[in-house]
Amino acid sequence: MSLSVWSLLLVVMVGQAPASPQTSGGPSLDRPCSFVTTDEMSSLLGTKVTAATDEKFRCKYVVGSGWLETKLLDISLKITRDIYDYDKAHGKAVSGIGDQAYVFGASIVAKVGDVVVDVDGSNLPRPPDDAKLKAIATKIVKRIP
């Protein structure tokens, strides 16, 4: 099962609805949408983002008929290490973002201490180029408390 399916099941089992994407109080690791607003994401992508849904571990930014997602994951979890290690093994290193970062396809992962930032644009109608992925990841990494 995919990580997103497991997370959805966890939300349902616990009985919590996803948090509002525009909650005040600054960036928080349990509110991924608090790191990049829809307007900021529109600017970074160069196209209109119509909505953002905060799903605790990820933020889903809607663009046309697709979406881009950002995830903040704990490196101590096996699933996180698997994602990070796969992108590290198959992707290309990117400097200047967190401790280590790798681009693979339409996604980028960046490790910052015990947090992995994952930006995945593979579900967009037109996947973002490496420069846009790097800009999004950089904005999130700089806002990690």
pLDDT of residue 35 exceeding 90: yes
**pLDDT for the residue 57:** 80
DSSP three-state, residue 66? strand
DSSP three-state, residue 3? helix
Sheet containing 107-112, strands listed edge to edge, beginning at the edge strand earlier in sequence: 51-54, 58-63, 66-74, 115-120, 107-112, 100-104, 92-94
DSSP three-state, residue 99? coil
Number of H helices, E strands in the chain: 4, 7
Cα–Cα distance, 61 to 68 (Å, whole number) = 5
DSSP category for residue 47: S
**pLDDT for the residue 24:** 52
Higher pLDDT, 4 or 88: 88
Question: Residue 19 — pLDDT band, cuts 50, 70, 90?
Answer: very low
pLDDT of residue 94 exceeding 70: yes
Phi, psi dihedral angles at 36 (to 5 degrees) = -145, 120
- Which among 43, 60, 19 is positioned nearest to 51, based on CA atoms? 60
> Where are the strands (E) in the chain, listed by range?
51-54, 58-63, 66-74, 92-94, 100-104, 107-112, 115-120
Cα–Cα distance, 117 to 66 (Å, whole number) = 20
Going by their DSSP bridges, the two strands 66-74 and 92-94 should be labelled as unpaired
pLDDT of residue 43 exceeding 70: yes
